[in-house]
Amino acid sequence: LVWLSSCFGQIVVTQSEVKSVLPGQTISIDCSVSKGRYYVSWYSQKPEEAPRLLVYYTNEKNSGIPSRFSGSGQGNGLDFSLTISDAQLEDAGDYYCMSLHKISDNWVFTQ
For the stretch 21-34, pLDDT in tens is 999 999 999 988 87
Distance CA 41, CA 57 (A): 6
Q: What are phi and psi of 99, to 5 degrees?
A: -85, 150
Other Cβ atoms within 10 Å of 23 Cβ, number: 11
Which residue range(s) make up the domain with 66? 5-110
What pLDDT band is residue 106 in, cutting at 50, 70 and 90? Answer: low
What pLDDT band is residue 11 in, cutting at 50, 70 and 90? Answer: low
> Across 28-32, 88-92, 99-103, which has the greatest mean pLDDT?
88-92
Total domain count, the chain: 1
CATH number of residue 97's parent domain: 2.60.40.10
